[in-house]
Amino acid sequence: MTIEFSKKLTTHETPIPGVVLYDLPVHGDNRGWFKENWQREKMVALGLPDFRPVQNNISFNEKAGTTRGIHAEPWDKFISVATGKIFGAWVDLREGPSFGAVFTAILDPSQAIFIPRGVGNAFQTLEDNTAYTYLVNDHWSADAQGQYTFLNLADETAAIEWPVPLAEAELSDKDKAHPRLGEVVPMPPKKTLILGADGQLGKALRELYDGDTSVEFAGRTDFDITSVDAYARTNWKNYSAVINAAAYTAVDQAETAEGRAAAWKINVAAAAHLARTAVEHDLTLVHVSSDYVFDGSRASHDEDETFAPLGVYGQTKAAADAAVSIVPRHYIVRTSWVIGEGNNFVRTMASLARRGVKPAVVNDQIGRLSFTADIAEAIRHLLDSEAPYGTYNCTNDGAPQSWAEIAAQVFELAGASGSDVTGITTAEYFKDKKAAPRPLNSVLELGKIKATGFSPRQSSERLTEYVREENLSVPV
């Protein structure tokens, strides 16, 4: 066997999405040869997923014509040849438009190939004493073997032209019995797990992803984010992303001894558990943050502003952001003034309008509403578009308003008069009341998320739709 020495490390795309063929640098002299079979830094720089291998396997094959496969496994593989030469065949057995796509190549020790989870792998040795080696990013187990997907080596649709005819090749009885492509159940993608699925944002995410079998929902009774046991019981290998829509949001109650403990437990300790889990299992973690991490002293807040929370709730949200930020694949979605299903400011104002109450509403806190349906859309956009990881402000768009201005708009939409709303300062409103300090300016800059291709809808437009859809108008 002749090996080409001193090739540069290069990549070659294939017809199967995610399958990439690599030329490896091999250095040789009169003693033999040496190659960097796996070099994380260089290969990641060329675009190889940082798939974090945990197990190295070698398949030794004594005779030319030994044929193995076609096996699609529930993990990623980085495959190369240690000695000898093989004819490799790969078939996409994942759900999706590329199901059934085929790629073949002859590999010697100067080449390697990356095979994503769900792509069927097979090879036929072309020389005696061939060693086929592969790195995988999950540990083999009997349970994992039950998640394999198989295809018959002789499948007529794939129509692989084996150099050694299968009738003359060395095959196992199991491989001979694998199904044809028409009988193969495609391997489904890893799932997205939504925690806190019964809250305001969770319900919006349920509606958005309704019917999507790749998304799994867990309310508090299904998964207690504060329970260490809940994390231990979950097979995280089945998931690629987690959306944390759970939170303690009782801003004023958080200032009490009992509320403070609950806020830190739910907002911080649980977020730290999730962050650790995401790091250990290479998950994408989506976490929802708040304008309360700022003191409201600036006219508007961008994603890079230093935290300066005024109260306990804001402190817990800032601490959670810090914990989640250590996850390599994270999206922190920062919102303000959230409106969704259940009790909220808009519903309260509409109720007052229907009853003829003329309220005094704070007029020196400025911000924008964030409707849960739009936050959910933004989260899906970030995940689907594979936007750069990091923190993104996400509210509805439009001119900033005070709570009093929004209340007046709700009164008008509900069929009452906006003049029924009287403006009052925060200091006057909370005089002689036990309440958490609030940022006076909650305007979040939206340039960063817009740059990813997401366009937040106008707040006034969404408010009009919300009042109509929720039947919040004054009865005629």
Annotated catalytic residues are 71, 134
Helix (H) or strand (E) holding 339, with range, is strand 338-339
A 10 A CB-CB count for 156 gives: 10
Distance, in Å, from the CA atom of 117 to the CA atom of 103, rounded to the nearest integer, reads 15
Query: What DSSP string describes 60-117?
Result: EE-STTBEEEEEE-SS-EEEEEEES-EEEEEEE-BSSTTTT-EEEEEE-TTEEEEE-T
Hey, what amino acid is at 394? C
Our CA dihedral for 121, 127, 133, 134, rounded to 10 degrees, sits at -20
Whether 187 contacts 72, CB under 8 Å: yes
Question: What does the block give as tokens for 271?
Answer: 């977020």
Q: Are 172 and 69 in contact, with CB atoms under 8 Å apart?
A: no
Question: Distance between CA atoms of 343 and 367, rounded to whole angstroms?
Answer: 19
C-alpha closest to that of 23 among 46, 54, 1, 52: 46
Using alpha carbons, select from 23, 76, 28 the residue that is nearest to residue 50. Answer: 76
Helix, strand, coil fractions of the chain, as percent rounded to 5: 30, 25, 45
Place of tokens 């040789």: 28
